[in-house]
Structure 1
């Protein structure tokens, strides 16, 4: 959720009633369903990506933009959502976003070319990015304090399980129906959401005068800085970094956006993204931990399907089922979230969550070329528990560490940090995979000297089995490549393990949540 717009602070929304009525719960249902669909669509195409690329005539490199386009647009929209919400009113804003999200989803489903698909994914990301933070606006304004933990638990379930369900649903549709329906399923959901919003949210007058008072330097800075930086990180390794004209341009765009954002911080009375909050010791610690948790969350959800596909020979549905395991403990823990928020020290929960997350990554450092889906069962269950504990309580620590009037700014920064962590993880994975793959291949080759009698006997035996020495050499090359790739994935899990452990001491900087803590905002 974004910071407030520039200019005078708008009037506070009316206090929630003493007890939520049926319309309020309809609105909460709409918010959580919308957030679920938005998070689901982040990863729903990942399993079906090879099939989509083939049908729209995109190469492997071009096809990555199908996923990147959504992420770029979403990370831009999240910090802007709060300002746009106040500009036109929450119900109007959400109905516009839901309608456009549905329309862009249909555009993706009907796509026959890569440009058409990318335009649809950008539209999906931009509108879906609005559905995620505004779900907590509904909870904060439509539910009384004592009922808000229930809304938080429902939203937390969607935020955690959306990316987990995505590969499963996308893989099943690609294998059994058609990848097109990964997008078409948003049509009936969109219609239901529009009905729920119509009956669940009251109409609020727009505040178009905010257009004159807005922090335009900050808004432009967010668009160019976050958009340019995300493309820079996502595509850098693939494009050979500064050897690529695209990466040079994106670096310039990101730098220009950062300068514009800093100008907005200096001259705007109410910057659209209040970066001064990072100077608070607790909030700064939360943001660092959010980035690292985002790296672990998005990094593992990318590495595991890649390993299962490349090493174990799994199809999209099978690898999606392994990723889905993390959603089971997350869903069960959500039933306890209201009680946990009121009774357990935030430092205990965050340190416990980070510890479990690090432990789950460490369990995957003993992978071999014979590992399959069952090798990830325990680690995925532990990861689902750890990431839920860490993210839920870090979010509450973020918004409770700043004055109430800055809660939206804090939630926007927290959400942006988590997504930025995902971008850093994907960029880091590309770099590590290229560098460590080369290193492990060379080391394995060096360990097989051509003059070794053992190696010669092995190769002669393989030649007799496979029908000639050329086939034996190809088999050896494939074995070396498989082993090198396995060792590379192990390196990635080691890096994630060490990274999460390094942030554990930061949890000691957190302050306990207020006894009568009122959940106000939550990031994605």
Structure 2
């Protein structure tokens, strides 16, 4: 859970610091948002392929590799001297961070007996929700009193602690045998291009006046073609990178849709509000962080209650 907390915290911390990053690296606010976009694109590409990667490399090995990649790229982000360099290292950071949350959940589920898994996931949820609560305030305080570079440097000791604890306490389950699997290169390419272009369109569409801009239209067409082809291909290939049959599970499909809706409502404002508060209202980074922090307090207090209710009643 430590690594997932670090990954979620890093996302919210960076959002508050974007105006300072833009000023320090001689970039516009719109250009600086690529610091967030680049991370989200690479993160979104890796996330659906986490299960396949775990089977190929082993869950523990993949998890430690992702944490190490995240920590090293965070260090280089802190030393970046140009916006292009920072964006490059953020892409690498996103590749490492994308797999950490699903692997953490898988490890946690297998650490608790079935009747206690609700409480286990509630504990995990507290960590995930607590990070966005303190992230804006912590990011604002660090940026105002030190430098935006330290929002990346703080990941280093936390990541090292996570690596050490994972090495000592985590083992792959017996059924998860690491071995050689046929690589679905075509599916992997479709996934990367489709998800990547879709993420860019969603993130930059408003600034580019949506479909009035040719490159938005082109990216949208590319994304649609790749994702539709991916669905058709993954249903027919013998070694799919994404097992689409899981959507036949009655509870999984609506749960995924609900999680998508919650994600849109919860995370959609995390990038926009700090920029609005600092550039238009005149808040400092610390003040904008304090303004955003109360949003997750109610969720934080509800998580333990949800864990108890799930353990004692039907999840639905």
Note whether the superposition's TM-score is higher than 0.5: yes
Which of the numbers 218, 225, 229 marks the counterpart of 1:260? 229
Counterpart CA distance in 1 for 2:129 and 2:294 is 12
| Residues 267-321 of structure 1: per-residue CA shift (max 9 Å, x gap) | 2235333345546665443333333222211234345445544564322211211
Aligned residue in 2 for 1:221? 190
In the alignment, is residue 192 of structure 1 matched against residue 173 of structure 2?
no
Task: Decide which structure has the larger Cα Rg and report it.
Answer: 1
Shift of 1:105: 0.3
Aligned residue in 2 for 1:334? 303
RMSD: 2.4
Residue correspondence of structure 1 range 325-474 to structure 2 within 5 A:
325-344=294-313, 346=315
Aligned residue in 1 for 2:72? 103
| Residues 106-153 of structure 1: per-residue CA shift (max 9 Å, x gap) | 111001111110111111111111111101111123333344334212
**Which structure has the higher relative contact order (CA within 8 Å, separation 6+)?**
2
In the alignment, is residue 128 of structure 1 matched against residue 97 of structure 2?
yes
Counterpart CA distance in 1 for 2:102 and 2:295 is 23
In the alignment, is residue 82 of structure 1 matched against residue 56 of structure 2?
no
In the alignment, is residue 157 of structure 1 matched against residue 126 of structure 2?
yes
* TM-score between the two structures when normalised by the length of structure 1: 0.56
Aligned residue in 1 for 2:17? 48
Query: Residue 217 of structure 1 contacts residue 263 of structure 1 at CA under 8 Å; is this kept in 2?
Result: no
Counterpart CA distance in 2 for 1:133 and 1:53 is 32
In the alignment, is residue 274 of structure 1 matched against residue 254 of structure 2?
no
Indicate the SS of the match to 1:178.
Answer: coil
Q: Which runs of 5 or more structure 2 residues have no equivalent in the other structure?
A: none
| Residues 46-71 of structure 1: per-residue CA shift (max 9 Å, x gap) | 11111111112222221110011111
Aligned residue in 1 for 2:108? 139
The worse-fitting range, judged by mean Cα deviation, of 152-161 and 123-132 is 152-161
Counterpart CA distance in 2 for 1:265 and 1:92 is 26
Aligned residue in 2 for 1:115? 84
Indicate the SS of the match to 2:16.
Answer: coil
Give the direction of change, closer, same or farther, for the CA distance of 1:311–1:115 in structure 2 (3 Å limit). closer
Q: Which runs of 5 or more structure 1 residues have no equivalent in the other structure?
A: 1-31, 347-511, 513-524
Alignment length, in residue pairs? Answer: 314
* TM-score between the two structures when normalised by the length of structure 2: 0.89
Aligned residue in 2 for 1:177? 146
Which of the numbers 172, 180, 200 marks the counterpart of 1:209? 180
Aligned residue in 1 for 2:206? 237
Counterpart CA distance in 2 for 1:177 and 1:128 is 25
Indicate the SS of the match to 1:48.
Answer: helix
Counterpart CA distance in 1 for 2:86 and 2:205 is 22
Give the direction of change, closer, same or farther, for the CA distance of 1:236–1:148 in structure 2 (3 Å limit). same
Counterpart CA distance in 2 for 1:329 and 1:200 is 32
Counterpart CA distance in 2 for 1:126 and 1:251 is 23
Which of the numbers 36, 40, 64 marks the counterpart of 1:67? 36
Counterpart CA distance in 2 for 1:282 and 1:201 is 29
Shift of 1:182: 0.1
